[in-house]
Structure 1
Amino acid sequence: MPKPSELSKSASQNDCNDCNDADAIRPTRLGSPKAGPTQDVGPSDEPPSEAPVVDDRPDYSVFTTWEKRAIVLGVAIGAFFSPLTAQIYLPALNTLAADLDVSISRINLTVTTYMIFQGITPMFIGSFADSTGRRPAYCICFVVYIAANIGCALAPNYAALLVLRMLQSAGSSTTVALCQAVVADVVTSAERGQYVGFTALPILLAPAIGPVLGGVLSQFLGWRWIFWVLAIMAGFVFILYAFFIPETCRNIVGDGSIRPHLMYRTLWQICKDAWRKRRAARSDASGGVALQVTPSHASTKRSVHMKKFNVFKSLTILFEKEIFILLSYSSIVFAGFYCVATSLPTQLHEHYGLDDVKVGLMFLPFAGGSTIAALVNGKLINWNYRRHCKIQGVPFERKKEQDLVGFPIERARLEIGGPMLLFASAILLAWGWALQYRAHLAVLCVLLFLLGWGLIGFSNTTNVLLVDINPKNAGAATASNNLTRCLVGAAATAVIGPMINGIGAGWSFTILGALYVIGLPALYLIMRHGVRWRKEKEARKSARKARKNGGIVEEKN
């Protein structure tokens, strides 16, 4: 009588012979709901887990690794405009106030209103992108942004600048949400950590390039050239997007294998299609074998299929229990960054006598710390994810999206972000007292470097977790994140100046650091109850779907 292991081997070979593709048999994740059937080999003393299982699901995305890297890098460059527009403006605040004959407080109001619109606008465009596609949303954003920059460059007075800055914010702010949405379209949770460096690119380079560029332009060419340069840069990137960045919304193109409608194709795809058709027509006219015009992927679906546009989706996500706690706390943390960034030009100008260019250069250490955080944090996030897969007995697979309903993804992410936040809390206290006692500029540079490492490291972790929890609504979820961060940040930028004038920089930043520590139990609640909350949310969704389907069946009857 053959052994059970031989029977199992024979059954696996028979299955492989029946498949068209020898790669169809792959190991599946433990407990995967979509796992293929295993062979019945009869009674055996061997553990059942040794029997081979079949995972016949396709990869999460048909894009190759290099294609995904190029796409994510491309959308990260687009997201660069939102923080760049905020940062490039800061060194010119003193010049703007003098040129427009208004007070610093009124000029700071243009920063506050920019941040308010930076939080509100993605609620609409993010939900729009989730339902109607990424490329139409990008088109709207860039057209509005370029027009607003031209208007700001020609603004005749303070009132016009204030209004146009709001419009400028509306055009640029959603690019951050769209960047995270595209990452969710093409990248699985298992490999998302390695793309943190790309998605963190806006946060890394904007504090470095923005203030330096803004200071140089403001001092040597005038503040209006800040907006002309932004308009030119945005126009160039918009052309690149029109030619090369494909539609990735899974509601439109699925895993990328569905050929989208003509309105969703890049100019490069349209040119290739036209070229193939011409070749096919010439071959047919000459009596040769007609060339088959095939799209780049398997499916040839061309219709426009869109979900119902829910403008309040971002608010719905925001008031889910886990998301509300996470975003409420992370917005307070990020408010510390806004307070440092907006108060730095005034403090350096008044107490150290630095001009616009030197003020811009002082933002470079923060960018350096942010760069280190992105490089190190991405590897740590992936490492901790693999560690928790091993603890849970779940095979680690990069190319297939894992069902995270019962997986402790909150622990996998926040165990990396939490220590960085504690580190940032201590540095924020030191930063306040260093400003209070006019420490040497070298001390300020070191503290800015460490602050960038801690704050941006924690921010990257929460961004990844947010997409993990809401992979199908990443645009709306990131918009919720923008809303809380920008509204709380706007309030922080409005009060940090009066706070420093009233109680000093030391106590002002001590209060912010204390808020970080007081809010730490929020992270503990998320790690402890996150899995249960997500299971309850899935149960509610299933119940609503069952009631809806039941109503449809009843109507048909």
Structure 2
Amino acid sequence: MSESETTTKSEETSNYISQRRLKYFIGDPYSPDDPKQLSMRRKQAIIAVVALSAVTGPLGSMIYMPALLAVADDLNTSSEAVNGTVSAYVVFMGVAPLIWATLSDFYGRKRMYLASTIIGIIASIICAFSINVAMLIVFRAIQAAGLCASQTLGAGVIADTIPMKQRGRAYGYFYIGPLLGPVIGPTIGGALSQFYGWQSTFYFLAALGGLLFILVAVFLPETLRKVKSQDDQQRSPNHVKNFFQAFMPLLVMLHDPTILVITIYSTVIFACLYILNPTITDTFQRLYGYNQWQVGLVYLAFGVGLCLGSILAGQVSDWMLQHLRSKSNGQVVPEMRLRAAVPSFLLIPAGYLIYGWTLEYGIGVYAPIIGLFVYAFGQMSAFTPANVYLVDSQPGRSATAIGVNNCARSIAGAIMAIFSTQAVHSLGPGILFTVLAAINVLNIALVIICMLFGQRWRQNLVSKQAEQESDIHKQKVAIDIHRDEQDHHQHRQVALEHSLARTASRHSTI
């Protein structure tokens, strides 16, 4: 072999290795192997990476809460205007993941992880340099668009890698990541803003985003498969002819009553949460004279309740599925998971009532904190089974289903956040949180309806889609037959014309 041939072969090998490395770091559009066949240790590592990545969205929201009044003073604006920065973040926390999730179902999870993280890092740095509340609102929205993608993308990764019967526990552990935000966010944010100014919270988020970018690039493989199990269809990026075609699954999901009912159920809970959440800082500073660091510790009880509720709800969801499966001769339907939400029927209203009336009558500082813990535990007892149900009932479209749910509830939460402080001041905590408890009691009816009728709705939807596909197929067949008849008629017409022409030619010759 000549020296030039050896050099060429070496260059080709080097280029191949470089391309393989690049594909690994930015992610192939599709995984060539079945991620469900990975070892348990590898799956645990993947869950750990996506859980840590999902910290950033809720952390970006909660790290900022203890500093709300400090931001208002520094930017010379009102508390209502600063609540607008919370609302902007919450809106894009719901809308942006919907876009990321839809694109990830076509172009892969890993690429969307990396792109969204870069946006979050840049926006966090700019937020720290905000000179007025309008600038802060704009870049808080962009920050949310980047930082909040990980929660929905993580749901898609788990659906790609974890079998259905194990997903409840996997989601329980995954949601520890997003729920670490409410646990550590206010405590870190309170300390940073107390000693280094509120801008330091955004520098912290930018640094954390950089660390998570490296973790995803190095340790997270692409999990989206080209050929999926069950009823999922083979997809390819080449099938997406334009940007808007990627969002067609969203329109399809609007016709699914199970998604609508569960989304409304989650939205009501989330809207009520954002009447409570932004007012904790104002309430404890006004009634108890707490500083930013102490307010952060109050949020800590809230976050611990969320984490414990998520873990236990996920385990109960899996246990419930196995228990009901044994009773139904091995038959499993996603609606079985919703029974794990039953404890929340009592815990959410009880938490609101304890919190509201202990504040109303000034029964110490620990009593309302206990109310926050009870409410938070109940909230995740509702959210975890609902989210796992959406994943199990939408194979192949799990990330988009979660995105639709997050979008609706985040918009509702953003609207409520604007009026939250005024509502507490006008009605008082006792009456306001009693009203919220009553709303959540009525909301129970939605999940019960889905338990009873969800399977029938999904079967009817599948039948309708099959009929529509059959009608479309029949129309195509009819069109093909009509074209064949037209072609046959044209061929006969041409043949007849040729025959007449030959006959005329013979007569003219004679």
Post-superposition shift, 1:343? Answer: 0.8
Partner of 2:338: 414
- The CA deviation string for residues 84-114 of structure 1, in whole angstroms up to 9 with x for no partner, is 1000010110110010100111111110111
Matched with 1:107 is 82
Asked if residue 439 in structure 1 is aligned to residue 363 in structure 2, the reply is yes
Deviates more, 1:522-531 or 1:370-379: 370-379
Query: 1:442 offset after TM fit, Å?
Result: 1.4
Match of 1:240 in 2: 215
Distance 1:77 1:315, change over 3 A: farther
The whole-number CA distance in structure 2 between the counterparts of 1:320 and 1:127 is 17
CA shift digits 1:434-475 (9 cap, x unpaired): 122222111122222212211112111111111111121111
TM-score (norm 2): 0.82
Shift of 1:408: 3.7
Pair 1:457-2:381 in alignment:
yes
Q: Secondary structure at the match of 2:330?
A: coil
Does the 8 Å CA contact 1:60/1:188 hold for their aligned counterparts? no
Q: 1:466 to 1:304 in 2, by over 3 A?
A: closer
Is the aligned partner of 1:313 residue 2:238?
A: no
Distance 1:192 1:222 in 2: 41
Alignment TM-score, normalising by the size of structure 1 = 0.75
Alpha-carbon offset, residue 174 of structure 1:
1.9
User: Partners in 2 of 1:370 and 1:392 — Cα distance?
Assistant: 32
Per the TM alignment, residue 70 of structure 1 is displaced from its structure 2 partner at its CA by 1.2
Do 1:315 and 1:480's aligned partners in 2 also have CA atoms closer than 8 Å? no
Give 1:177's match in structure 2, choosing from 143, 147, 152.
Answer: 152
> Which segment is superposed worse, 489-498 or 211-220?
489-498
The Cα shift of 1:121 comes to: 1.6
Which of the residues 532, 535, 544 maps onto 2:468?
A: 544
Which among 354, 357, 360 is matched to residue 430 of structure 1?
Answer: 354
Q: Any conservation in 1 of the 2:350–2:375 contact (CA below 8 Å)? A: no
The letter of the residue matching 1:460 is T
Aligned residues: 441
Contact 1:217 1:223 in 2 (8 A): yes
Asked if structure 1 preserves the Cα contact closer than 8 Å seen for 2:309 and 2:377, the reply is yes
For residue 555 of structure 1, report the CA deviation from its aligned partner.
Answer: 5.8
Instruction: Specify every segment of 5 or more residues in structure 1 that has no aligned partner in the other structure, as ranges.
Output: 1-57, 256-302, 396-406
Shift of 1:422: 2.1
Q: CA deviation at 1:514?
A: 0.5
2:426 to 502, 523, 536: 502
* Unpaired segments ≥5 residues, structure 2: 1-32, 230-235, 482-510
* 1:429 partner letter: L
Q: Say which SS state the counterpart of residue 362 (structure 2) adopts.
A: coil
1:481 and 2:456 aligned: no
CA contact (8 A) 1:138 1:175 kept: yes
- The amino acid across from 1:394 in the alignment is G
Between stretches 316-325 and 361-370, larger displacement belongs to 316-325
CA contact (8 A) 2:167 2:388 kept: yes
Q: What is the 5 A alignment of 1:145-224?
A: 145-224=120-199
Q: 2:52 aligns with which of 69, 77, 81?
A: 77
For the residue of structure 2 that corresponds to 1:162, the secondary structure is: helix
SS across alignment from 2:164: coil
Summarize the Cα distance change of 1:353–1:230 in structure 2 as closer, same or farther, 3 Å threshold.
same
**Which residue matches 1:121?**
96
Cα distance in 2, alignment partners of residues 556 and 179 from structure 1: 45
Contact 1:119 1:482 in 2 (8 A): yes
Q: Partners in 2 of 1:315 and 1:74 — Cα distance? A: 31
> Which residue of the partner structure matches residue 525 of structure 1?
449
1:339 is displaced (CA, Å) by 2.2
Q: Which amino acid aligns with 2:279?
A: S
Output the amino acid matched with 1:116.
Answer: V
Q: Distance in 1 between matches of 2:175 and 2:132?
A: 35
Aligned to 1:366: 302
Equivalent residues of 1:370, 1:452 under 8 A apart? yes
Does the Cα contact within 8 Å between 1:96 and 1:223 map onto a contact in 2?
yes
Give the deviation of 1:254 after TM superposition: 4.9
Counterpart residue identity of residue 249, structure 2: K
How many angstroms does 1:306 deviate by? 5.7
CA distance in 1, matches of 2:430, 2:201: 33
Aligned to 1:467: 391
8 Å CA contact retained: 1:429, 1:513: yes
Shift of 1:319: 4.4
* Residue in structure 2 matched with residue 24 of structure 1 by the alignment: none
Q: Residues 550 and 78 of structure 1: is their aligned pair in 2 closer, same or farther, counting only changes over 3 Å?
A: farther
Is residue 414–residue 523 contact of structure 1 (8 Å, CA) maintained in 2? yes
TM-aligned CA deviation for residue 207 of structure 1: 1.0
What SS does the aligned partner of 1:250 have? coil
- One-letter code aligned to 1:169: A
User: CA 1:241/1:552 → structure 2, altered by over 3 Å: closer, same or farther?
Assistant: farther
Match of 1:515 among 439, 452, 456: 439
* 1:214 to 1:493, Cα distance in 2 relative to 1, 3 A: same
Percent identity between the two aligned chains: 31
Q: Distance in 2 between matches of 1:376 and 1:123?
A: 27
1:336 is the counterpart of 2:311: no
Counterpart-to-counterpart distance in 2, 1:159 and 1:497: 20
Q: Aligned pair 1:345/2:269, yes or no? A: no
Q: Separation in 1 of the partners of 2:453 and 2:64?
A: 42
Query: Which residue type is aligned with residue 218 of structure 2?
Result: F
1:173 shift after superposition? 2.0
Give the whole-Å Cα distance in 1 for the aligned partners of 2:472 and 2:107. Answer: 23
Q: Aligned AA for 1:330? A: S
> CA offset at residue 548 of structure 1?
4.1
Query: Normalized per residue, which structure has more helix?
Result: 2
Match of 2:497 in 1: none
2:179 aligned partner, one-letter code: L
Q: Is 2:125–2:202's contact at 8 Å kept on the other side of the alignment?
A: yes
Task: Find out whether 1:382 has 2:318 as its counterpart.
Answer: yes
**Alpha-carbon contact 1:207-1:364 (below 8 Å) kept:** yes
Cα separation, 2, equivalents of 1:213 and 1:110: 19
Query: Counterpart of 1:433 in structure 2: which amino acid?
Result: W
Deviations 1:256-278 (A, max 9, x none): xxxxxxxxxxxxxxxxxxxxxxx
3-state SS of the aligned residue for 2:277? helix
- The Cα RMSD (Å) is 2.1
Counterpart-to-counterpart distance in 2, 1:450 and 1:515:
17
Which letter does structure 2 place at the counterpart of 1:438?
G
Report what 2:504 is aligned to. Answer: none
TM-superposed deviation, 1:520? 1.8
Deviation at 1:419, TM superposition (A): 2.3
Cα deviation for residue 67 of structure 1 reads 1.2
Q: How does 1:45-56 map to 2 (within 5 A)?
A: none
Q: Which amino acid aligns with 1:136?
A: R
Cα distance in 2 for partners of 1:312, 1:431 equals: 43
